[in-house]
Homo-oligomer: A and B are copies of this chain.
C-alpha cells in the first residue's frame, strides 16, 4: 500500500494508490468524514479542483466528480465566483463548552470604570503607523527579539515618558509589555524570586493588582488611603519592602499623592532596601490642575515605573511599558523570555511609528477635550439630580467617586440602582480590609469616559431617584 497526501491547502487527504479506480470514492469518503467530524467546518473554502488534483496527482475529472457528488449530498455547495465551500448545515453538533459566568443584567447606563471610549480609537492613524511599520521593519525584527522590546520602541517610549511624565528613562531600562497587569505580574514574580513575601497595596485600591500579586505567591498588605493619597507612614507596619501606588490619580479615590509623601515614600524604599511600583494611572487625562510628574524621577533606582495604552488608546492593544531600576532589568527580562518571549514586534513597531509621528500627542489633545466635557456633564447632572452625593477625584482620569449620604449601604444602593436601570460600582470591591465606618464613608465609583452627556444625565437622574427612595 503506497499512499500520498496533499500539501495544499492542508486537507490531510490520504489516497491508497494500490486501488487506482477507487480514487474518486476515496476523496469523497475522506471529505465526508472530515465534514461530519467537524474537521472541515461549515463555510470552509475547498481548494479549486485543479489545485487539489495537482496536489493529489490525479486528473482534474476525479476531483470534479467527487465535489459534484458531495454537492448533491448536501455536504458542499458551489459559491458564485469563489469555488466550493462546506455547507452551513453540514457538520457535527458543537461540543459543549465550559460554563460561562453568570449573565449580568442589562442596564440603560453602566458606569463601569476603567475603559476609555473605544469609539475614539484612532483607527486610521493606527493603520498608517502599521503601514509604516510593515514597510520599514527589518527582517531580523520579525524573529526572536530582545525580550525588553525593539530598541526603536524602547527609545520612543523613553522619550515620551521623559517628556510627558518627567520619567528618567533610557531605552536600556525600558521593557515593553502587554499592559499594566502583565508588567506587574513580571515584577511580582521577580520580587518573589528575590525573597519578597508581601507587597503593600493601597486600601482602597485596584483589586486586579491584588489578584496578580496573589498569583505570584505574594501576600497583599493594605495601607489606608486618605485625601492626600497613600498614608506613607503606615508602610513600616506592613513588613513589606515593596508597595504599589497610584500617585497621579489614586485608584479609586482620585487623590493626588502630596509632595511630602512622595519624598517620604522614596525615603522609605531606600530605608527598607525595597521598591515603589508606580502605576501611573490616568496620568494622561488631567483637566484642571497641574500635572504631578512621576515619582520615578525622584529615584530611578528605587521606583518601578509602569505605564499603559489601555486608557489612552485601547485595552485591546495590550501594550504597556515598565521603566525598571537597573538591578531589576536582568531578572524581569529573564522571566519574560521564559514566558512569552516579547511583545509582538509588529505591534511595537507600529506604536513606535505612531508615537514618532506625534499621533499619540494629537490623540490625547483631542480626547482630553471630549473627556473633560463628559466630566463636566456628569458633575452638572449629579449636582442637579443627586446633590447629596459628594464627588471626588474629579480633576483627572475617566472616573469619579461619589460618597453616599450617611447611613446608605453600598451593596443595597447598587442592587436598587440596577433595578432602576443604572449600574454604579461599590467602593467595597476596592477595599482590602473591612470598611472602617468612621473614616471611610460608603461610596460608589462612576466610570464616565465611555458615556455620552445624554447618558450621563440619564444615569445621574436614575441614581438620584434611587437615593430619594432609600429610607435613611
Contact = CB atoms under 8 A, between A and B. Distances in A.
Interface of A: 3-5, 7-12, 14, 34, 37-41, 43-45, 47, 94-95, 97-98, 114-115, 118-119, 121, 123-124, 126-127, 130-131, 134-135, 139-145, 155, 158-160, 162-168, 170, 172-173, 177-179, 181-182, 185, 208, 211-212, 215, 284, 286, 290-291, 293, 300, 314-319, 326, 329-330, 335, 338-347, 358, 361-362, 364-365, 368
B40 A330 contact: no
A354 to B, nearest CB: 12
A316 B159 contact: no
B164 A339 contact: no
Contacts of A340: 177-179, 181-182, 185, 318, 340
A36 to B, nearest CB: 12
B39 A163 contact: yes
Nearest to A365: B8
A9 B123 contact: no
A62 to B, nearest CB: 19
Copies in the complex: 2
Kindly name the residue among A162, A167, A284, A330 whose own CB sees the greatest number of chain B CB atoms within 10 A: A162
A221 B288 CA distance: 61
Contacts of A368: 7
Given A314-B142, A344-B319, A41 B178 contact: no
A11 B293 CA distance: 11
Contacts of A293: 12
A339 B142 contact: no
Contacts of A315: 142-144, 341
Nearest to A145: B316
A249 to B, nearest CB: 15
Specify which of A5, A45, A94, A142 lies most central, judged by the most chain B CB atoms within 10 Å of its CB: A142
A158 B365 contact: no
A106 to B, nearest CB: 14
A163 B4 contact: no
Contact of A172 (B97, B158, B178, B181): B97
A212 B144 contact: no
A164 B10 contact: yes
Contacts of A211: 338
Contacts of A144: 114-115, 315-316
Nearest to A362: B9
A398 to B, nearest CB: 13
Contact of A170 (B34, B95, B140): B95
Nearest to A45: B358
A127 B136 CA distance: 13
A465 to B, nearest CB: 28
A316 B39 contact: no
A457 B359 CA distance: 48
B98 A172 contact: yes
Contacts of A134: 123-124, 126-127, 130
A39 B166 contact: yes
Nearest to A357: B45
A319 B39 CA distance: 22
A245 to B, nearest CB: 20
Contact of A290 (B4, B182, B314): B4
Nearest to A82: B358
A169 to B, nearest CB: 8
Contact of A346 (B98, B316, B362): B316
A55 B340 CA distance: 42
A262 to B, nearest CB: 15
A364 B12 CA distance: 14
Given A45-B358, A211-B338, A318-B342, 16 more contacts: A7-B365, A9-B163, A10-B165, A11-B163, A14-B290, A41-B158, A98-B172, A114-B144, A118-B139, A123-B135, A127-B130, A127-B134, A212-B338, A215-B338, A316-B346, A344-B344
